[in-house]
Amino acid sequence: MNPQLKGSLAGMLSAACYGSSPVLALLLYRYGFDAANALVYRYGCALVLLLPLLLVKRQKLGLPFKDLKCLALPAICFALSTLFYFISFNYMNAGISATILFLYPIFTALIMVLVYHEKLSLSMILAIALSFAGVAMLHGAEEGGMSLIGTILAIASAFTYALYIVGINRTHIMITNEKLTFYLIVFSVAIAALYIALAPSLNFMVPHVPQEYGLIIILGLVPTIFSLVLLNIAVEHIGSTMTAVLGALEPVTAVALSVLIFHEALTFNLVMGIVLILCGVLIVIGGRRFRATKYRVIIKRLNQVIYRSMHRRWRWKS
């Protein structure tokens, strides 16, 4: 298969797999599971499935303490983002929540402007305007308007994911996607378990019927492991920026599955809101600040210090 075509198909399938997580979570909620328990089982199952993959590739799981410290804050932001995202499904249409989550590149660019003093370009201003116009359109997509709590949770999910994106890209940790995902999963399980332990109304749940086990396995496999493997193939063949552009299929998949499975209404406001947000996000992803950068790394070999220039792609997904 042509490498460009192979990478494009992998990128689209990866996005579609990731976009299935809201519907799978909602199906699990029907059996009485809450967001935190669903995440504990999703990532716990993914961890069991990921370990053989790491062993086959002979990747060492150890990480130097200084690298672990650098990874801790971005990983906590990633875990909180997923927790906010899954809780938001209780308050609003899962497709709308998935679309709002896709605002994370906008928040990423804003953080780069406000914190790292990058120039605010006209294209960036246009992207922000389009994206927030899309959110305004989404407000009219649900009868009675969007839930305030659900909207805050979805925006918090997008913002904390943006913090993770900036944090992981500002570190100089040399780590593969598989190994990074392993540590993100470990932190996510810990954060979700801690939330269950501290929340007075929650308890750890145990699956009882085959349908619950089946949904947990699919949730751990499709939007996590399958998405990861396909993502790596896409980045290898077409690069991280083009892969991120194809990620626009994530909210589209979530909305389509919500319409097909839960019979959510596909209104004009919903379609226009998605289109406006995707247009704004794609403008940001294609921006120059997110292209591959050249930097120097130090390699110690046989008591000699070697300086080597390397290109590093902007890491949008893990």
114-165, pLDDT tens digit by residue?
Answer: 888 888 888 889 999 999 899 888 887 777 678 889 999 999 999 999 999 8
Q: What is the pLDDT of residue 40?
A: 95
Q: Is the pLDDT of residue 174 over 70?
A: yes
Query: Which of these ranges, 102-106, 142-146, 192-196, has the smallest mean pLDDT?
Result: 142-146
Under 8 Å CB-to-CB from 258, ≥6 apart: which residues?
Answer: 22, 23, 93, 94, 95, 264
Task: Give backbone dihedrals phi and psi of 201, rounded to 5 degrees, phi first.
Answer: -95, 0
- Model confidence at 287, pLDDT cuts 50, 70, 90, reads confident
How far are the Cα atoms of 13, 253, 262 from residue 249, in angstroms, in the given order?
Answer: 9, 6, 19
* Tens digits of residue pLDDT in 235-252: 888 887 788 888 888 999
31 vs 289: which has the higher pLDDT: 31
How far apart, in whole angstroms, are the C-alpha atoms of residue 181 and residue 86? 19
Q: 187: pLDDT confidence band, cut at 50, 70 and 90?
A: very high
β 293-301/304-312 pair status: antiparallel
Distance CA 95, CA 51 (A): 31
Q: Please report the beta strands in the chain, taking only residues with DSSP state E, as ranges in sequence order.
A: 293-301, 304-312
How large is the average pLDDT for residues 43-50?
91
CA distance 113 to 120: 6
- Per-residue pLDDT at 256 exceeds 70: yes
In percent, how much of the chain has pLDDT > 90? Answer: 45
- DSSP, collapsed to helix, strand or coil, labels residue 296 as strand
Instruction: Over range 175-201, report the average pLDDT.
Output: 90
pLDDT of the residue at 304: 53
Average pLDDT, the chain: 86
Q: Look at residue 65 and tell me whether its pLDDT is greater than 80.
A: yes
Percent share of the chain, pLDDT over 70: 89
pLDDT of 203:
92
